[in-house]
Amino acid sequence: MIVANDWKDYEILDMANGEKLERWKDVILARPDPQIIWKEKTFPNKWKQVNARYHRSSTGGGSWQYEKKMPESWKIQYKNLTFQIKPMGFKHTGLFPEQAVNWDWMMDKIQKEKRPIRVLNLFAYTGGATVACLSAGASVCHVDSSKGMVSWAKENVAASGLADRSVRYIVDDVVKFVNREIRRGNQYDAIIMDPPSYGRGANGEVWKFEENIDDLVKLCSNVLSDDPLFFLINSYTTGISSTVLEDLLRLSIHKKGTFSSGEIGLPMTGSKLILPCGIYGRWEK
Question: Which CATH number covers residue 196?
Answer: 3.40.50.150
- In whole angstroms, give the CA distance from residue 236 to residue 139: 26
Residue 92 belongs to some domain of the structure: no
Whether residue 17 lies inside any domain: the answer is yes
| Predicted pLDDT of residue 59 | 78
Task: Give pLDDT, residue 202.
Answer: 67
d(CA 104, CA 203): 34
Q: Answer whether residue 138 is part of any domain.
A: yes
Instruction: Decide if 90 is inside a domain.
Output: no
Inside any domain, residue 74: yes
Say yes or no: 103 and 22 in one domain: no
Last residue of one domain, picked from the residues 26, 60, 85: 85
Residues 81 and 20 in one domain: yes
| Domain span at 17 | 2-85
Residue 259 belongs to a domain: yes
Per-residue pLDDT of the chain (285 residues; tens, 9 = 90+): 999 999 999 999 999 999 999 999 999 999 999 999 999 999 999 999 999 999 988 777 899 999 999 999 999 999 999 999 999 988 999 999 999 999 999 999 999 999 999 999 999 999 999 999 999 999 999 999 999 999 999 999 999 999 999 999 999 999 999 999 999 999 999 999 999 999 887 678 788 999 999 999 999 999 999 999 999 999 999 999 999 999 999 999 999 999 999 999 999 999 999 999 999 999 999
Are both 122 and 233 inside the same structural domain?
yes
Model confidence, pTM:
0.95
Residue 70 lies in a domain: yes
Residue 150 burial (CB count, 10 A): 21
Asked whether residue 129 is domain-assigned, the answer is: yes
d(CA 135, CA 188): 17
How many domains, the chain? Answer: 2
| CATH number, domain with residue 41 | 2.60.40.1180
Residues 196 and 277 in one domain: yes
- Per-residue model confidence (pLDDT) at position 205: 79
101 and 9 within one domain? no
Query: Which run of H or of E encompasses 91?
Result: none
Residues 152, 281: Cα–Cα separation, whole Å: 26
